[in-house]
């Protein structure tokens, strides 16, 4: 029988599908926009510069191997170690199991579920808006039981009493809380929830995708077991990285033997930890090829926060929120979240006036001002009392009152133009 040569094939094999004409241009044409949306945000110049670095292999000691400075005899951390130190600062935690995953924050959600829940265990999700419903649906797809505790109105802060009643009733193994829900621009008070969960032998999973760098956040002081975020929001890092940390209490819940481990190979925390050098031997074991240049960008974004200080960047987001709210009130616009203390910093949801076509305002801002704003993730539904609203984002480098002025000027013009047009119809 003749041995087949993989390269001895029809010489016209690559002509079956022709070259795509859409990619014939050497450079893609995309207009730069000011991203006043719930994320991603625009990048700082240093982050963009780091993203264009020459590629570094994940097997290169410069990537993972810590060393000793021969002159000062001090430890010198490489890229992975530096990122871990930075994430611990951002999360305000000393957890050893703190790292970045190649994927979006949705991947971090799934990572938490498939590592810490078994088919007989359940999740309790506090549902303020889109994200609490999303993770409950995700848990059900994975074969877990999911209970939903729903807010009674937009902007309701779940009280400790109501949470405890649900913990006592459902006895979940994990409680999910979205610290700042980007779908409605709301912030939930986390203090006391961790202690409450531990009283009922329940792990606390906190979604800090928006709250990171916009809101005071302390993983260790608030007894949070699993905390995750993304790089592309107030951190002003590149999309495509999920940031996550696990308390020792959570790590102790993992199966001790490799025989019964996470049903997802890619998301197995034990394997991921080894690839970050987090094990007894402090050795680095190959798991998958990470998004190396995204990690360069993440490091630069963390350095920018450190240079400004975590406290200062949170204060800046709060001040810009106040600036935006003052300007919107001058336009006689109303907020989705009525209680000012429950409105998040970084994302503000505003009701669309009855005489305004919200999508046309968004089109006007994009076309005339090169500004993008967000619409609703929730479908308007009169029966469910879901109104139409915009979401204005001012995250990271865009948390700047000068950019707020540009946004409000464009918004004012769009509202005036649309009302003039309606008056002539």
As a whole number of angstroms, the distance between CA 115 and CA 142 comes to 11
pLDDT tens per residue, the chain (425 residues)?
667 778 777 888 888 888 888 887 777 678 899 999 999 999 999 999 999 998 887 877 777 655 444 444 444 568 999 999 999 999 999 999 999 999 999 999 999 999 999 988 999 999 999 999 999 999 999 999 999 999 999 999 999 999 999 999 999 999 999 999 999 999 999 999 999 999 999 999 999 999 999 999 999 999 999 999 999 999 999 999 999 999 999 999 997 655 557 889 999 999 999 999 887 666 778 899 999 999 999 999 999 999 999 999 999 999 999 999 999 999 999 999 999 999 999 999 999 999 999 999 999 999 999 999 999 988 766 556 789 999 999 999 999 999 999 999 999 999 999 998 887 76
Phi–psi pair at 423, nearest 5 degrees: -65, -25
In this structure, whether the domain defined by 49-307 belongs to CATH 3.40.50.80 is answered with no
The response to whether 171 counts as a known ligand-binding position is no
The CATH architecture annotation of domain 310-424 reads Alpha-Beta Complex (3.90)
Q: Tokens for 373?
A: 């704003």
Question: Going by DSSP bridges, is the β-strand pair 67-68/75-76 parallel, antiparallel, or unpaired?
Answer: antiparallel
Local structure of 132: helix, strand or coil: helix
User: 205 is written with which tokens?
Assistant: 């999973």
> According to the model, what pLDDT value does residue 134 have?
97
Domain with CATH 3.40.640.10 in the chain: 49-307
- Structure token digits, residue 64: 């993972």
* Sign of the alpha-carbon torsion through 213, 215, 216, 220: negative
| Domain limits, CATH 3.90.1150.10, in the chain | 310-424
**pLDDT given for residue 16 in this prediction:** 87
**Helix H or strand E segment including 294:** helix 292-308
59-63: long-range contacts at Cβ-Cβ below 8 A with a sequence spacing of 24 or more?
59/286, 63/292
Q: What DSSP assignment string belongs to 54-104?
A: PP--TTSHHHH--EE-TTT--EE--HHHHHHHHHHHHHT---SEEEEEES-
**C-alpha to C-alpha distance for 42 and 300, rounded to whole angstroms:** 14
Q: Report the predicted TM-score, pTM, of the whole model to 2 decimal places.
A: 0.93
């Amino acid at each position: 029988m003749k041995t087949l040569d993989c390269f001895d094939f029809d010489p016209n094999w690559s002509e079956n599908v022709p070259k795509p004409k859409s990619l014939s241009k050497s450079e893609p044409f995309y207009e730069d926009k000011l991203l006043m949306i719930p994320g991603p945000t625009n990048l700082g110049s240093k982050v963009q510069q780091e993203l264009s670095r020459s590629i570094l292999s994940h097997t290169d000691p410069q990537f993972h191997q810590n060393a000793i400075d021969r002159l000062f005899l001090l430890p010198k951390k490489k890229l992975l170690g530096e990122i871990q130190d930075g994430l611990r600062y951002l999360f305000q935690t000393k957890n050893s199991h703190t790292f970045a995953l190649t994927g979006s924050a949705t991947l971090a959600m799934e990572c938490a579920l498939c590592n810490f829940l078994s088919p007989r265990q359940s999740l309790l999700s506090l549902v303020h808006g889109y994200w609490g419903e999303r993770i409950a649906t995700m848990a059900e797809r994975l074969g877990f039981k999911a209970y939903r505790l729903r807010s009674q109105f937009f902007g309701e802060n779940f009280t400790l009493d109501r949470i405890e009643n649900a913990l006592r009733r459902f006895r979940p193994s994990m409680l999910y809380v979205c610290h700042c829900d980007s779908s409605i621009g709301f912030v939930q008070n986390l203090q006391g929830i961790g202690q409450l969960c531990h009283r009922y032998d329940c792990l606390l999973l906190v979604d800090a995708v928006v709250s990171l760098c916009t809101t005071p956040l302390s993983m260790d002081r608030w007894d949070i077991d699993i905390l995750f975020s993304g790089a592309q929001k107030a951190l002003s890092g590149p999309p495509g990285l999920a940031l996550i940390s696990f308390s020792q209490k959570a790590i102790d819940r993992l199966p001790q033997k490799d025989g019964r481990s996470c049903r997802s190979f890619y998301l197995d925390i034990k394997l991921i930890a080894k690839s970050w050098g987090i094990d007894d031997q402090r050795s680095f074991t190959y798991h998958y090829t990470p998004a190396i240049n995204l990690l360069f960008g993440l490091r630069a974004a963390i350095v920018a926060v450190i240079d400004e200080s975590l406290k200062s960047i949170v204060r800046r987001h709060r001040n810009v929120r106040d600036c935006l709210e003052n300007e919107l009130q001058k336009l006689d616009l109303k907020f989705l979240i009525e209680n000012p203390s429950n409105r998040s910093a970084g994302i503000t949801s505003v009701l669309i006036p009855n005489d305004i076509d919200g999508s046309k305002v968004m089109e006007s801002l994009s076309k005339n001002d090169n500004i993008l704003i967000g619409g609703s993730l929730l479908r308007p539904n009169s029966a469910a009392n879901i109104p139409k609203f915009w979401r204005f984002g001012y995250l990271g480098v865009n948390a700047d009152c000068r950019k707020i002025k540009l946004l409000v000027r464009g918004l004012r013009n769009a509202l005036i133009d649309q009302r003039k047009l309606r008056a002539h119809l």
